Structure 1
């Protein structure tokens, strides 16, 4: 079931979002859909050689995405704060 859910998300969201973020929750209002995404605790490929550690999160940002079936879509994205040790 989880694999089919991820496949569905890949159709709706950019691939990089699905690869590096997890959907933590969503909220549907009248004609608006809010998707809440949090960065996965995985060091990005281009920085794997560095000694990085996750030290909390940046403030949430909100990005308006393309509408889905007449609903406005907002992505609420929370990124990790990576520090070089």
Structure 2
């Protein structure tokens, strides 16, 4: 939850759904440059996570898009270490978090 915040959730008798949006957080170098601004979100990816209380869990994840006014470049951050001790991420979720826009 260091990089994402819950923007919504739904729990019914069939499934659990959680919507996650990347937080508005600039890396230090981008903050110091003063030219990088938030530029919306990537398209939502739906990832099936491990079941919870016998129900499938679906994560609706949106990564933040950033725009550098100095270079005209649009980009998203990638993350290498998002697992808590004793947990694992699915290969699909890891690939999503590492993909470049």
Given the two structures, how large is their TM-score scaled by the length of structure 1? 0.68
Q: Does 1:40 align with 2:23?
A: yes
Provide structure 1 residue ranges, at least 5 long, that are not aligned to the other structure.
1-17
Structure 1: which 4+ aligned runs deviate by more than 2 Å?
Answer: none
The C-alpha deviation readout for 1:15-72, integer Å capped at 9, x for no partner, is xxx11111111111222100011111111xxx42134211111111111110111010
Query: Post-superposition shift, 1:83?
Result: 1.7
Once the two structures are TM-superposed, the CA of residue 84 in structure 1 deviates from its matched residue by 2.2
Displacement of 1:80 in angstroms is 0.9
Query: Which aligned pairs between 1:6-85 and structure 2 lie closer than 5 A?
Result: 18-43=1-26, 47-50=27-30, 51=33, 52-85=36-69
Query: What is the distance in 2 between the residues matched to 1:84 and 1:48?
Result: 14
Paired residues in the alignment total 65
Structure 2 distance, partners of 1:62, 1:29, is 17
Task: Specify which structure has the higher proportion of strand.
Answer: 1
TM-score when normalising by structure 2: 0.58
Cα root mean square deviation, aligned: 1.3
List gaps (5 residues or longer) in structure 2. 70-101
